[in-house]
């Protein structure tokens, strides 16, 4: 009898619980949950736009081996096989310590320059709950000129061999086909040939990528030297090329007016005029090795 009296109460409570559960399911269906954050990846195909670093870094545990090669000027004619008889080369290694931090070392035939760098991701482009319109990374490098001293009659200091580069890599992937990067840059040389030469040079770089197919894109890059003695004596670096992805390799074929390969040099020491045919054919080959677990 007591059970019969309590039955309506039990049924009412069960109905309330069922109603609350149904309401939760309905709110979930209507999207009551907060939107997830979607991060942007593959803004560029590899760690270079053309000559300069891109916003991309090796993934954690990935080791990149990069061969960079510039031939001579095309306007040298058939005698030098339109520049193919000459070469400037750099070999480099880059490693992803984490998905945000990468380091690298390299050696170039230009001024027998050794270089090392660090690249740290400050912000990553994203949408959804966390909306960030651009990706930003800091890039810093040091170069060591290992040429023999020209004047051995004076005291030569090791610090005179050093040069430094500081950059902010600010990039946005507008859609699946087009990406753009701005690169404010400071280059400092501890030693310059003349007293009136600039030790510190400011430049603004801009580069972009337009995807043509799933595995091919056209890239362009330009560095503008801010007014000063360096800008009066040297040219702005302009490079145009193609990226071709083939499995674990990325081939970058390009034309540029810059002989140097390192940021320490090509931004401030370019001596080539596109309109006069001072154009150098070159390429980068990037091979990825996965050393650590993701």
Residues 114-165 pLDDT 10s: 999 999 999 999 988 889 999 999 999 999 999 988 888 888 888 999 999 9
Write down the pLDDT at residue 169: 98
Half-sphere exposure of 231 (CA within 13 A, CB side): 11
Write down the pLDDT at residue 237: 96
Of 58, 71, 64, 50, which is closest to residue 218 (Cα–Cα)?
50
- The C-alpha atoms of residue 292 and residue 287 are separated, in whole angstroms, by 16
Write down the pLDDT at residue 104: 96
Q: Mean pLDDT, to the nearest integer, of 232-247?
A: 92
Burial grade of 218 (CB within 10 A; 0-12, 13-18, 19 or more):
middle
- The C-alpha atoms of residue 116 and residue 141 are separated, in whole angstroms, by 6
Q: Mean pLDDT, to the nearest integer, of 261-284?
A: 91
- The C-alpha atoms of residue 102 and residue 84 are separated, in whole angstroms, by 33
Mean pLDDT, all residues of the chain: 86
pLDDT greater than 70 at residue 12: no
- The C-alpha atoms of residue 74 and residue 11 are separated, in whole angstroms, by 90
Under DSSP, the state recorded for 53 is B
Write down the pLDDT at residue 138: 97
- The pTM of this model reads 0.83
- The C-alpha atoms of residue 219 and residue 206 are separated, in whole angstroms, by 11
A 10 A CB-CB count for 193 gives: 8
Longest dimension (CA), the chain: 116
Cβ-contact 53, 263 below 8 angstroms: yes
pLDDT greater than 60 at residue 27: no
Q: Mean pLDDT, to the nearest integer, of 188-210?
A: 93
Residues 69-119 pLDDT 10s: 998 887 777 777 767 778 899 999 999 999 999 999 999 999 999 999 999
| Rounded (5°) CA angle 284-287-293 | 145
Domain 47-290 bears CATH identifier 2.40.160.40: yes
Helices (DSSP H) in 192-275: which residue ranges?
Answer: 229-233, 263-266
What band does 11 get if pLDDT is binned at 50, 70 and 90? Answer: very low
End-to-end CA distance of the chain: 66
Residue 32 vs residue 154, higher pLDDT = 154
């Amino acid at each position: 009898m007591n059970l019969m009296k309590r039955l309506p109460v039990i049924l009412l409570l069960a109905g309330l619980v069922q109603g609350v559960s149904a309401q939760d399911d309905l709110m979930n269906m209507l999207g009551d949950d907060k939107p997830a954050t979607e991060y942007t990846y593959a803004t560029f195909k590899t760690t270079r736009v053309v000559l300069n670093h891109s916003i991309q870094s090796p993934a954690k545990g990935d080791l990149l081996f990069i061969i960079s090669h510039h031939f001579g000027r095309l306007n040298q004619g058939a005698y030098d096989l339109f520049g193919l008889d000459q070469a400037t080369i750099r070999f480099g290694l880059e490693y992803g310590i984490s998905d945000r931090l990468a380091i690298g070392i390299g050696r170039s035939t230009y001024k027998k320059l050794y270089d090392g760098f660090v690249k740290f991701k400050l912000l990553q482009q994203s949408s959804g709950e966390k909306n960030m319109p651009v990706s930003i990374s800091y890039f810093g490098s040091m170069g060591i000129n290992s040429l023999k001293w020209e004047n051995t009659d004076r005291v030569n200091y090791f610090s005179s061999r050093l040069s430094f580069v500081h950059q902010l890599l600010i990039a946005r992937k507008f859609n699946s086909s087009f990406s753009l990067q701005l690169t404010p840059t400071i280059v400092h040389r501890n030693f310059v040939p003349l007293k009136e030469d600039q030790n510190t040079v400011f430049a603004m770089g801009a580069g972009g990528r337009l995807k043509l197919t799933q595995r091919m894109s056209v890239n362009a890059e330009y560095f503008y030297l801010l007014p000063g003695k360096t800008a009066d004596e040297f040219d702005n670096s302009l490079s145009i090329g193609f990226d071709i992805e083939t499995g674990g390799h990325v081939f970058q074929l390009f034309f540029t007016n810059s002989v140097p390969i390192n940021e320490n040099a090509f931004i401030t020491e370019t001596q080539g005029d596109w309109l006069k045919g001072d154009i150098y054919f070159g390429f980068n080959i990037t091979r990825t090795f996965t050393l650590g677990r993701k």
